Amino acid sequence: MYRSLSLLLALAMAGCASTQDSPPAVTLPDLQPPRSCTDLLGFYEAASLMPGKERLRQKQQLSTWLKLTGHPCDRLRLALLLATPLGSIEDKRRAVRLLEKVLASEGMEPEELRLAGLLRDQLQQQIWALAQSARLKRQLEETRQTAETLQQENTHLESLLERLKTIERNFNEQEQAIITPATPSPANGKGKNPAGRR
């Protein structure tokens, strides 16, 4: 494509030179070269140190640029940005999808493909570990909630048991009072026969 444009430009300039009264040549802007995959590790290190807002801005910028170019190097850079330690598990999953496309791309250098493959494998292990950690946290939270519920039920049952014991104790005391009523004690000899009285 670039050779064709250069050839057309040379032919146009030659035609202008052969005409005496031709207008001055127009200076064309430099053609943008293909995106470069150089210094990917440096980019990853810089992305790892970015604050949250800057990282988000870079992610949006790279996503927009990738839609325009579709170049594997832009895809690889976006995957590196998403793969930083601060990235969420969804970012890492998106990075894996991007790396799969990079590995299926043509024209990439062997070192770039090897880097993409290693990063994909590492991200897949991280995703698995994060998923396991999230599952264990959910189980731990469920266990904690179950323990709290059982503790509350146990406290409620102990309270009911104490109330039943109190009711049973009161009932036994009332029953004992009915069976053995208290005998009134004599006062001032009342009820006794006087001595010698028939």
Q: Is the pLDDT of residue 92 over 90?
A: yes
Higher pLDDT, 153 or 184: 153
The pLDDT of residue 101: 93
The pLDDT of residue 190: 54
3-class DSSP string for the chain: CHHHHHHHHHHHHHHHHHCCCCCCCCCCCCCCCCCCCCCHHHHHHHHHCCCHHHHHHHHHHHHHHHHHHCCHHHHHHHHHHHCCCCCCHHHHHHHHHHHHHHHCCCCCCHHHHHHHHHHHHHHHHHHHHHHHHHHHHHHHHHHHHHHHHHHHHHHHHHHHHHHHHHHHHHHHHHHHHHHCCCCCCCCCCCCCCCCCCC
Q: Is the pLDDT of residue 171 over 90?
A: no
The pLDDT of residue 120: 94
